[in-house]
Chains A and B, each alone.
Chain A
Amino acid sequence: MADNKVQEQVQVKYTSKDFATKQDVRWCPGCGDYSILAQVHRTFPDLIGIKKEDIVWVSGIGCSSRFPYYMNTYGIHGIHGRAPAIATGVKVARPDLSVWVATGDGDLLSIGGNHFIHACRKNIDLKILLFNNRIYGLTKGQYSPTSEQGKQTKTTPYGSVDYPFNPISLALGADATFVARAVDRDAKHLQSMLKRAAEHKGTAFIEIFQNCVIFNDGAFDDITDKKVKDEKLLFLEHNKPMIFGANKDKGIKLDGLKPVVIDLSEGKHTIDEVLVHDEHDDNPARAGILINIDKQQDLPTPIGVFKQILKPTYDEGVENQVKQVTEKKGIGDLEKVLFSGNTWSVN
């Protein structure tokens, strides 16, 4: 590994082609995954300082989890649900690597839920991209933990009975340090979210609304379609008031603890009443308000960075402990350790 470090000095300039592999991409035509892959290919050359060989993509099982095969970096296509745990091993063993997880709603939130919340809790420096299509694609159309209640699928012919997870509130609840949402069809915004995640140190989670054309086509049309998106999406921006609408004339205001929509066009309300977004606020109360906005049907769906705070990462902590203990005790001496404790000699 020492040899590689010499080359670090040379700043390589990549194009998006450098990140494409020779493998044929095998998603269904029109699948939202294509756009996500394209945005990653477009963004990665601009991630200053990260070399191709220092990137590892890890995935679980599902349509989205084919992702590593299409990235000309290092990669592990793992087993169902375990991507965050595999990625944790990579990152803790090699903190110098940039580790990315591609996963889906079944993979991350159903079978892999435990690994997800613990990766967030520990603040392991991983970038987790959740391709949320609210359905199981690869197993051909069963409802998922993000499917809306009442969803009719092969396993729920009379409609699903269970309530869905809100991935954002799960990530916030598990104390992820970077929590964002993007939409597959909004290329520019998705690219900016990817960059922000790459720059973040700590667990970065992006939920990406992803359209599955085969089993759940149009799942997000009611909020992301061109015709409605201005009214239905709220683009969060740090330090900016939460306004939306084609004419930017609607805002979110707090009525007690309850977020409500106010109309700014009639002169009844002013911009000063509108809630200002602060992504660096670690106060769980604010996270609660954001979750509340997110969960309410009559309010617009927030998109963008919900939260970004900095705190030491797990991998850093492990690394520092190794360094500190080594400084204190000296580099481990095998002979000394073996011959420690109560020994005796036979002559």
Chain B
Amino acid sequence: MASRIFGSGIKRREDPRLLTGQAKYTDDFVLPNMAHLAVVRSPYAHAKIKKIDTKKARQMPGVLGVFTGSDMKEAGFGPIPCAWVVPGSNTKTPPYPPIAIDTVRYAGNAVAIVVAEDRYAARDAADAVKVEYEPLPTVSDPKRAAEKGAPRLHADVENNVCFLWNVKGGDVEAAFRSAEVVVKDRIRNQRLIPNAMEPRAALAQYSSGSGEVTLWVTSQNPHIVRFLLSLDTGIPEHKIRVVAPEVGGGFGSKIPHYPEDTMVIFASKALGRPVKWTETRSENYRATIHGRDHVQEVELAAKKDGTILGLRAKVWANLGAYLSTASTGIPTILHGLMLSGAYKIANIHEDVYGMFTNTTPVDAYRGAGRPEAIFIVERLVDLLAKELKRDPADLRRQNFIPPFSDGHTVATGVTYDSGNYAGTLDKALQMAGYKALRERQADLRKKGQYLGIGLSTYAEICGLGPSQVAGAVGFGGGLWESAIVRFHPSGKVNVFVGISPHGQGEETTFAQIVASELGVPVDDVEVIHGDTDQTPMGWGSYGSRSTAVGSGALMGAIAKIREKAKIVTAHLLEAAVEDIDYADGKFFVRGSPGKFKTIQDVALMANVAWNLPKGLEPGLEASAFFDPPNFVYPFGAHIAVVALDAETGEVKLERYIAVDDCGRVINPMIVEGQIHGGIVQGIGQALWEGAVYDENAQLLTGSMMDYALPRAEFFPNFELGMTETPTNVNPLGVKGIGETGTIASTPAVYNAVLDALAPLGVKQVDMPLTPERVWRAIREAKGR
């Protein structure tokens, strides 16, 4: 039975509470005497604060207090720390005060907070706070921010350049000198708004008696938030409890430690009451981090026979107005190191300018850096195929890294763990019926109908990661994981983990691992996460690391449980420990399978401790930590088929085929769900989504009415396939699957649309490929 649990798509343990409305998200918590906080935000993207008049607001009914940035500063609340500062790049870290003190640098920057008896009273009073501004010139485009004469955001950051980072491998100049073909592109990898369905919220309860604070917060990584709070609130780490209860999606946007976390703690301390803040969606669009936003100038050098020689890129990455928690690591380490994609590219050089602009801070958004890299490679390979009149699948196959199982180092210096890129491509082509598709495309073109077929063959880096590497690349924390497995006398199990899932289903996946490795029914395992007072230290859920790294810690604890169970069994059966074997939930004497103890027998005896070997500690509990020796590198091949209406510019997604390889699969149903969701988010970027700022750096796409999110009606059913290439980076051979769909699908769909547009002479259109943009591009091409 046990072996069938691993690899089986069992229903999720999380679901009943979520399906019935019993799950408790942060905003659902109500504490006695709780007050509500509202934030006064700047309507200007860049301005001096001349005066803040709080008098009227203070006198309004139900108002308990109105506070400014100076009040927080005087109370000892410091600037929000940046937790990832890339080294060797002269990175500037200007202060990020939780509430602006004399200058606002983006529209939505907090200027004051109001605390009142209820949500409505707080909002009313926030509207009554009068702020006098002296507007300053603004800049929102990352490349324009670097130009001479651009408005400067931070006094000591010249030309708004936060850092200049580069990656160099091989000799790119020589590669381009010897190239027979060079293809170039200018890519606008546009700014996206994460839109986790649950807006952020934070609820703080400070006790002056004990000096302790509890923060319930919408977070993907409560231990990181606790660590950072200990730096900016002045409250020591052991007196801070951070709870991430049910969290309604994150996609990276709930990694950062946000100013509102400290605002509610400050207010709770100042007023002696629990204080809650809940973001409105409109507020979320301005105050929660955005993703992507690169201007990229890229080129690829090759021989006429299709062999790729080198890749060169220059990137201006928008960081927004302040450095959010992981901001500088995203467009550098998680981006530049993946520019080789799935290909042999001996020579790579990229320069990345990290730019401050008058926009909402930019940080990790699903894929975080890798989508911005894989799009470059996949686009350039397609352009090369067009240039050489080669089939894009064949050209890809020609340049793939050949199958490997024990490491392959690419020019950027990272060592992929295992891969078989031709394997996923072949399977995807077969599922798509690629040859027949191309024939159909040719037939339709004769009739003036435009079918597009787009490929994307990716490799990505996730399962973050070895802590030593984290330190070397400037990440201000570790990236290991932890787990405690605790058997109760009845044989039931609690598992406590450092990861903090928020929709990914690890309560089920981890229960499956325990069930299959220790022979307990899956329903006897309860997984506890997301509370720094209950769970061991961990670095959270992001970078597709929860299962890839977290399961390593869990396996370590399971191994210790087994060792102890063998000792107890040997004692009870009067055998030698070396003679005890384990299989399918039974510890037995080798050669006498009839003489055994179940894990439940052992749990009972270990807990009651009536008859244990001399000197053995009672209890059946183990704790383990796991720091992986490498990242993991899942890969795959995606194919998009689109129909283009050349009259209206409208694109209809006809089919989508995805073959992914994430190593061994624990729960295929959950894995497929992750892929579905990822694909839709990536297609969202290709076709509809994009944050737009006007010339005054005002966010024009400031609500769900103006920002086009994918809806059910936009999609066909996706056709999924898998291959399994295990990794040796962790005990179970698993790789991450949370972000692959997003990484792969944007270039697959973009390439498909450009493939459809090729006979019309269109070579480049900026994303998102809305009907208007496509229509204009067709008209422009005709005009020429």
A and B physically associate: no
**Hey, which bits of chain B sit against chain A, CB under 8 A?**
none
**Hey, which bits of chain A sit against chain B, CB under 8 A?**
none
